[in-house]
Structure 1
Amino acid sequence: MTTQKALIPLPAPIARIATATGAAVALAGTFLPWTWTSEFPGDLTVTGYPGGLQILTLTAAILTLLFTLCGYGIRGLRWLTPGGTNSPVRLLALATLGTTGYTIGAIAYELGGVVNLEPGAWVSGIGALIAFLAALGLPSDEPLPADGPPANAWQRFRNSLAAPSVGRAKPLPGWGEILIITAAFAVALYVFTYCIDIPTEESEQFIGFLITAGFTFTALTRAGIIARITALTTKHRNVTLIAALVAAFCFPFTQDTAEFTLIGANILIFATVALGLNVVVGLAGLLDLGYVAFLGVGAYTAALVSGAPLSAIGVQFPFWAAVLTGAAVSLIFGVLIGAPTLRLRGDYLAIVTLGFGEIFRVTVNNLNGNSGPDLTNGSQGIPSIPDLNLFGIDFGLSHDIGPFTLSRPANYYLLLLVVTAVVVLVFRRSGDSRIGRAWVAIREDETAATAMGINAFRLKLLAFALGATLAGLAGTVQSHVSYTVTPEQYQFAGPVPPNSAFLLAAVILGGMGTLSGPFIGAALLYLIPAKLQFMQDYQLLLFGIALILLMRFRPEGLIADRRKQLEFHENDEPVLVPEPRQPEEADAGITKAGA
């Protein structure tokens, strides 16, 4: 193995100093005006107070400076870079340049030319460019084989962004590990809140956020921080679940408007249903393309028994009874659909489940009193579903808790959080059980699992029924949140999630078989269409392109389990990275091969 030279012939110490200088210049430019008019979203006209997209450039520049300092082997910062220092610096410098360049281009495009740029934009742009070019002069963290043909420019660039696998970290005390987990979820809550609070009309700021967040996440992955935090959360699973629930519980208390809280509630519905689908697809390996129909079964059942004025049944169950009824009806449908079809495999099973989803939508559309019995009010749906009243609390009214005011969406968000906790508990317990291990065996090789004595049909039916029950459970709350249920809400693919295609994509994007993956996938797939409404006509095109890129560069998903990582990266050579002792060793990119 040989250490690859830098893309730009520049001594490593000089490249590191130039990178830090460029990042500092880009940081300083955010405190100067970037344009003269406040017509551009975010008000970039104030001196000494960054706003809008300036904050994103400021954040990326600070991270670039921090990781550049890590390259000097400072003892307190070594924990941040177990996978190497130079690759994260390059990616963060690229994030700074990308966000700043996009902002400059957006200002010039929307305001009519570069004449609308103030000196601060040029200062940050030049600083970001210097930082990125200097970062290309840093040695690569990833060595190249000594034999074989010389790498071309593209291969050298890709290799310069790669990082070796993470070596064994120094053990931390238990309280320190718990503190790191808590800090990680606090940062995640802040980033999520910042993303949701971006106004819908300020799409420029949201695109800038995606650029910064995407490169920053990749940089943290290359640095090995994500792997270390994942190892800590795996070690302290109960602490992680408690921290996640506390962070999610705090979200509605950070919101001042009901609009953004409603987005959070809808994301929670989407994520909960995606986690239920993860039982079917991620654990058991059953490709279900009509899963949203079970959500519709639970929603329609709750609407019919919750006292809606246009309900054909005309009864009003208490909420706990409506929840049990919706989950039970979804369970029955899951068994009725799964029993005759789960003897099929692969594409054939996918086609059957797709047909079931379309049959459900067409059926509830025809139960209007003309084409069929008057049960669902046809295409008009069942509107005016009354708000819940639990323990004397009217969920349709705002409530004051100390200095905080919880709006109607916040009330339902907290209720959905309880439902999500139940679904998480069921998923975790079933995945760790003997049945969960049997599901994984069926997913990997059904023939081999059957030969080992596993009753594949019975266990697949159990997974199908459990997934349907969890979807029906979420559907009972969704019907009250949205006030009405209509057939158009439960399509295979549509402009607004949840639908079957987006639910499946959320599972694949986040990571099949994982607990946190569907939540991340659902949040991304719901937020992006909600914030970038001007791209609604091209939504499916962009959705397809994103899936192609995902399958090409990260087929295991954003949060992949160990088995998927081994499956998709079985040919990768493991590399053990020691802690750098001297700055010269860190700059030279010294690595050590190991098993």
Structure 2
Amino acid sequence: MTENLPKNPAAPKSTALLWTVVGGSIATVASTFLAWTWTTAFPGNLTVYGYPAELQLLTLVGAVLTAAHALSALGIKGLGWLTPTGARKATWILALGTFATTLFTALAIIVELGALVDLEPGAGVAVLAAALAAIAAYKLPDDTRKASPAKELPSWAEILLIVVVFAIGLFVVTFGIDTDDSEPQLFIAYLILVGFTATALIKSGLLARVSAITARNRQVTVTASLAAAIAFPFIQQSGDTYTLIAVNILIFATVALGLNIVVGLAGLLDLGYVAFLGVGAYTAALVSGATSSAFGVQFPFWASALTGMAASLVFGVIIGAPTLRLRGDYLAIVTLGFGEIFRIAMGNLDGTSGPKITNGPNGIPNIPQLEFFGYNFGESHTVLGIELGAYANYYLLMILVMALVIIVFSRAANSRIGRAWVAIREDETAATAMGINGFRVKLVAFALGAALAGLAGTVQAHVNTTVVPENYVFAGPVPPNSAFLLAAVILGGMGTINGPILGSALLFLIPAKLQFLQDYQLLGFGVALILLMRFRPEGLIANKRAKLEFHENDEQPAVPEPRPSEESGVGTAKAGA
């Protein structure tokens, strides 16, 4: 009977294309062990045979991931878990990312050294092989399907998987932060590959499956994430050089989480939020024993932190009480005015234009380092046989601060008042009709967000050892400022915890690493936000409500029912009798 069944003509073609992808990826991997240029004048030393440099390592990783996904589509045993919702899109995105990374490196060599002849044959092989894999992956038939229920894993296996995932994430983040600032080519190639890889993992359904496992093991996930964050300064190869970037990212992310309460949960557009960060920083500087402080007092850090939070909270109430009856653009304009008033006022409290409190434009310098029970944060210390510099000390402190902010945010969002914030955000008129006191609820959000920003400001003052008004503007070349904070919340995903953290990391790390593009930062962020609003309006990490709202009219891919004589997926053709 099987002799009369019609064969699927697409199966041999699909199999051939998949093996072409695998072959191109293997050739790309081999090319990374060849020299790509003849001179060490190009950063990264791509002249060595038999040992991939960092730029070549990125191409190697992309090619390996592409080959693995193609083999998964071929039905190779043990690799099916890579593509729960289909292999074609993920394979093509990975192949395209590998090609883009490789082509960028080759073009950078030509531009940097000035001639095409500066490329060694290894670079040509890499570009051609990566292009071949990308073209073959593009021509694959679409095999998008609904993910089948995942096989239940033993508890120990799920815990091990979570540990491995966070270990890989720690390595990827550390690799990006540790890239040499004098080699922007490496960081740009890193961004290209990470961006394509993340997109591919989403399209393949693998990220959703891992997220389901982490949701089932919430305590293990929290412990693993905390352990990975704490381990960061201990694995730094360059000492304290790049830990300062991590500290500033954490400060930026903490403030963004506070703004996320105001914008993401309550739906209040605040364009002057950075002023609350400044209130906390100035308060801590005035009461921490700085030589130029007008008060001449020195509180312990816990007291200065509480004082900074209280001052920011009071300012939040003072500003919010008369303005939160406004809505939309009117509220945004008022908060923008408050931010500018704060900056100008701090510049005028110099003893000439006003009382001598903040030293005007000169700010408050020489803020002393923190000290807990004899542990000076400004000095290096040896912990577990590893020397931690001053910024590593502040990094660990900010981990604790961010953990506190995350707990406050999550508890508030899931509480009764958090549900009231969401109701106000969705429809204030309907929420008021249901008995919610809109003004009071919004004032609580404004005050809580301001207090969290003030807490971050107290640490920022000690990290920078100087507080000046120019640090707290609406828009400027160096984050955090109000525009960058709002962009971080929108880019990452409003109303979530991980979203603003990811957005803050991207918006701080990219300008810090690509300083040669400083004049074009705002243009770049504007283009990025336009593209984001077009293709992913819910943000990089969206909550379920936002994702459903923005994609409720999207058409779901129709998956035809396979005939008895046809294979149910790419590369799983049944041999006819």
Query: Given the alignment, which residue of 58, 66, 69 partners 1:67?
Result: 69
Percent identity, please: 63
Unmatched segments (≥5 aa) in structure 2: 1-8
- Which amino acid letter does the alignment assign opposite residue 208 of structure 1? A
Distance 1:282 1:232, change over 3 A: farther
- Which amino acid letter does the alignment assign opposite residue 274 of structure 1? A
Are positions 1:83 and 2:85 aligned together? yes
Contact 1:509 1:521 in 2 (8 A): yes
Deviations 1:346-381 (A, max 9, x none): 111111111111110010011111111100011111
CA distance in structure 1 between the partners assigned to 2:188 and 2:520 by the alignment: 16
Are positions 1:231 and 2:212 aligned together? yes
Are positions 1:49 and 2:51 aligned together? yes
CA distance in structure 1 between the partners assigned to 2:158 and 2:266 by the alignment: 33
Q: How does the TM-score come out when normalised to structure 1?
A: 0.92
For residue 421 of structure 1, give the secondary structure of its aligned residue in structure 2.
Answer: helix
CA distance in structure 1 between the partners assigned to 2:173 and 2:565 by the alignment: 38
CA distance in structure 1 between the partners assigned to 2:273 and 2:88 by the alignment: 44
Counterpart in the other structure of 2:568? 585
CA distance in structure 2 between the partners assigned to 1:232 and 1:511 by the alignment: 22
Distance 1:456 1:236, change over 3 A: farther
Query: Given the alignment, which residue of 307, 313, 318 partners 2:295?
Result: 313
Counterpart in the other structure of 2:18? 16
Query: Given the alignment, which residue of 476, 488, 504 partners 1:522?
Result: 504
Deviations 1:118-164 (A, max 9, x none): 1111111111011111112211134xxxxxxxxxxxxxxxxxxxxx5
Counterpart in the other structure of 1:146? none
Contact 1:71 1:583 in 2 (8 A): no
- Which amino acid letter does the alignment assign opposite residue 482 of structure 2? S
Counterpart in the other structure of 1:58? 60
Q: CA deviation at 1:240?
A: 2.1
CA distance in structure 1 between the partners assigned to 2:12 and 2:99 by the alignment: 20
CA distance in structure 2 between the partners assigned to 1:210 and 1:490 by the alignment: 29
Are positions 1:354 and 2:336 aligned together? yes
Contact 2:95 2:134 in 1 (8 A): yes
Contact 1:139 1:588 in 2 (8 A): no
How many residue pairs get aligned? The number is 563
Higher alpha-carbon deviation: 23-32 or 133-142: 133-142
Distance 1:373 1:165, change over 3 A: farther
Deviations 1:220-241 (A, max 9, x none): 1100112222223333333322
Unmatched segments (≥5 aa) in structure 1: 143-163, 591-595
Are positions 1:369 and 2:369 aligned together? no
Are positions 1:195 and 2:176 aligned together? yes
- Which amino acid letter does the alignment assign opposite residue 61 of structure 1? A
Q: CA deviation at 1:453?
A: 1.2
Deviations 1:52-101 (A, max 9, x none): 21011001000001111110223422222111111111011101110111
Query: Given the alignment, which residue of 194, 206, 225 partners 1:213?
Result: 194
Counterpart in the other structure of 1:459? 441
Deviations 1:253-283 (A, max 9, x none): 1113212011110101001111111111111
CA distance in structure 1 between the partners assigned to 2:120 and 2:129 by the alignment: 15
Counterpart in the other structure of 1:270? 252
Q: CA deviation at 1:579?
A: 13
* RMSD across aligned positions (CA): 2.1
CA distance in structure 2 between the partners assigned to 1:552 and 1:171 by the alignment: 37
Counterpart in the other structure of 1:248? 229
- Which amino acid letter does the alignment assign opposite residue 108 of structure 1? I
Counterpart in the other structure of 1:177? 158
Q: How does the TM-score come out when normalised to structure 2?
A: 0.94
Distance 1:489 1:166, change over 3 A: farther
Counterpart in the other structure of 1:493? 475
Contact 1:141 1:589 in 2 (8 A): no
Distance 1:305 1:579, change over 3 A: farther
Q: CA deviation at 1:173?
A: 3.0
- Which amino acid letter does the alignment assign opposite residue 435 of structure 1? I
Contact 2:18 2:74 in 1 (8 A): no
Distance 1:76 1:463, change over 3 A: same
Q: CA deviation at 1:488?
A: 0.6
- Which amino acid letter does the alignment assign opposite residue 442 of structure 1? I
Q: How does 1:459-478 map to 2 (within 5 A)?
A: 459-478=441-460
Deviations 1:200-248 (A, max 9, x none): 1100111111111111111111001122222233333333222211111
Counterpart in the other structure of 1:593? none
Q: CA deviation at 1:586?
A: 2.0
Contact 2:484 2:507 in 1 (8 A): yes
CA distance in structure 2 between the partners assigned to 1:83 and 1:172 by the alignment: 19
Query: Given the alignment, which residue of 369, 374, 379 partners 1:397?
Result: 379
CA distance in structure 2 between the partners assigned to 1:364 and 1:417 by the alignment: 29
